[in-house]
Amino acid sequence: MGLHKSQPWSLSAKILIFLVVVIIISGGYTFYNAKGFSYLSNNPEACNNCHVMNDVYANYMSDPHSLKINGKEKATCSDCHLPHGFVSKWIAKAQSGLGHGYAFTFELDDLPVNLSANEKSKKIVQQNCINCHSDYAGNAINPTTHAGNNIQALQCVSCHENVGHRRGF
């Protein structure tokens, strides 16, 4: 009866294991260095982890939405810029985070001085304005005519352009 000798690992298996370890270590380091866990919260300070958000964050801090009541802001960045549904919020947060992470890693030469809202984000902000302020705005306008994909609708930030933070930094 013969003894089975263990086969040595092939060179390609060793290289694959090495690459996986390097990816895990560098990914963990990047996640730690980028304060990755902070993005799992609704804390506005997490949005200021990137220097391109310094002006936006400073402006938000001087806005009434940042005022704290019982230790909690009236509205955080997430309250305005993310859907309020549990699943849709985390999907949007992941898409945004991956997009920002990709841009800050691979498109450094093309980064804007400040981030701007895309069309999807603008629709989310509009819907969140209506969700929070429809009882007030209903006295002046019919907010249902401004909801959804109504392209002709007047957007809340058309008149309230500096609410939350200034635009066009």
Q: Which residues are annotated as a binding site for a menaquinol?
A: 89
Distance CA 57, CA 40 (A): 18
Instruction: Give Cα 103 to chain centroid, integer Å.
Output: 13
CA distances from residue 114 to 43, 48, 141, 166, 167 in whole angstroms, order as listed: 20, 12, 32, 11, 10
Distance CA 129, CA 164 (A): 11
The binding site comprises 47, 50, 53, 77, 80-81, 89, 129, 132-133, 156, 159-160, 165
The binding site for heme comprises 47, 50, 53, 77, 80-81, 129, 132-133, 156, 159-160, 165
* Neighbouring C-beta atoms of residue 75, cutoff 10 Å: 20
* Neighbouring C-beta atoms of residue 57, cutoff 10 Å: 17
Identity of the residue numbered 168: G
Bridge partners, 168 (sequence order): none
The helix/strand/coil state of 166 is coil
